[in-house]
Structure 1
Amino acid sequence: MVVILPDLLDPWRAAARREQYAGALALAIFPRLQPLLVSTDADAAVTYQIQFGIDRDGRAVVTGTLETTLQVVCQRCLGTLALPVNATLNLALLRDLDALEQLPECYEPLLVEERLIPPHQFIEDELLLAVPAIPRHAAAEHCERWLAAQVTATEVAPPSDQNARVNPFAAALANWKAPPERL
């Protein structure tokens, strides 16, 4: 039976019961992800399919997929970059870091220090890992087209005499340079 992910869950119990979750979470609920995003529309969400279970070695695991598109800033042109995310979850539950040495390479560790955990946190962790350190458009010409469009949109006509900017110091300088009046 597939259900919507709860706010808190016991991951060990979920693994023993082989629970499955599917649904969508609004990107606005991830506080650590927010600074990386240009905006979070009300419709922007991550869809997830998560399965808890026990692997062949008796290890509690979390597997699944995450799909979304993140709107981030391209570091080349500073324009908006739609970053598609298709992440695969392959996590092993660990009670402490001592078990990390026996963890096979196919699993990433998920340290569980409390009985109940907010599953939204490990989803946010995976989304953060999916954002490159320097996000940029794949093709430099996209950035060049975007920059050209921005320059064209913000070009300003040369100032006319009517719109000439008045220098606030011009009058003071003119008086200062003028010869003093004689009495």
Structure 2
Amino acid sequence: MSQQIVIDSKDFAREGRVLEGSLDLTDFPRVADQLLAREGQLVYRLEGSVDAQRKPLLRLLVSGVLPLECQRCLERVDHELEVDSLLELINDEADLAEDDLEDDSRDFIVADKSLDVVALIEDEVILALPAVPQHEDCSLPEGGQGKAKVSPFSVLAALKKTP
């Protein structure tokens, strides 16, 4: 059963509150199809603050191990997940200037009086998933090793010999 943790994001940030805990991988239904198994937990810490310009910020730290499938050998590969996201709260996406959108060093989310923290964590986990999970050093499966390689043209050679 999925947990639900809801905060008022602006109040949380302005008051400098901290929320931490752990969540089971089963709490993330949108990540489920990427996982080889659903056992395990992710540890999170959400910190609220304001910057020098009094803009509300949320810093999200998430760590854990995700059991993924290696795309080379199709075996399990344990992916060490380390997320550290600094999110600036904005009132509306329309408030963002073109320069803000082009600045890759900052991330923005719309402030919400009922922000679903589990959904936020899941979003950040999805963004942190590797495009192609694989072991650091693995080889392709050894299908057909030891068998002599048969040329597809050997049939033509046999036809050429018959009168």
Band of TM-score, shorter chain: 0.7 to 0.9
Higher fraction of helix: 1
Give the distance between the partners of 1:50 and 1:151, measured in 2 at CA: 51
Number of equivalenced pairs: 140
Specify the code of the residue in structure 2 equivalent to 1:137.
H
Which amino acid is 1:36 matched to? Q
Paired residue secondary structure (2:74)? coil
TM-score w.r.t. the length of structure 1 is 0.69
Task: Please say which structure displays the higher CA radius of gyration.
Answer: 1
Deviations 1:33-82 (A, max 9, x none): 111000111xx111112101111111111113111110111111111111
Identity of aligned residues (%): 22
CA distance in 2 between partners of 1:51 and 1:107 (Å): 16
Displaced runs of 4 or more, over 3 A: 102-106
Task: State the partner residue of 1:87.
Answer: 83
Match of 1:135 in 2: 133
Query: Which is bigger in relative contact order (C-alpha 8 A, separation at least 6)?
Result: 2
Provide the secondary structure at the position in 1 that maps to 2:118: helix
Q: What's the counterpart of residue 70 of structure 1? A: 66
Aligned in 2, Cα 1:6/1:51: closer, same or farther, shift over 3 Å? farther
Uncovered stretches (5+) of structure 2, i.e. residues with no partner = 146-163
Root-mean-square deviation (Å): 2.3
Q: Which residue of 1 aligns with 2:110?
A: 111
Unaligned runs of 5+ in 1: 153-183
Q: 1:6 to 1:59 in 2, by over 3 A?
A: farther
Q: How does 1:20-169 map to 2 (within 5 A)?
A: 20-41=18-39, 44-101=40-97, 103=100, 105-112=104-111, 114-139=112-137, 142-144=138-140, 147-148=141-142
Secondary structure at the residue paired with 2:29? coil
- Which structure has more strand as a fraction of its residues? 2
